[in-house]
Copies of this chain bind each other. A is one copy, B any other.
Amino acid sequence: MAHHDESAAAPLDAERDALAGWIEGGVHHLPARVYYADTDFSGVVYHARYLEFLERGRSDFLRLHDIHHTELLARPEDEALVWVVRRMEIDFRASAKIDDVLTVQTAIAALSGARVTMEQRIVRGDSILIAAKVHAAIIDRAGKPRRLPRDWRDAFAATAGSAIQT
Contacts and interface: CB of A to CB of B under 8 A. Distances in A.
Contacts of A163: none
A89 B91 contact: no
A142 interface: no
Interface stretch (A50-58, A114-122, A145-153): A50-58
Nearest to A69: B98
Contacts of A41: 36, 39-44, 69, 73, 97-98
Majority-rule SS of A interface residues: mixed
Contacts of A32: 19
A86 B130 CA distance: 10
A47 B15 CA distance: 25
Interface of A: 1-5, 11, 15-23, 31-33, 35-37, 39-44, 46-49, 51-52, 55-56, 59-60, 63-64, 68-70, 73, 82, 84-92, 95, 97-99, 101, 143
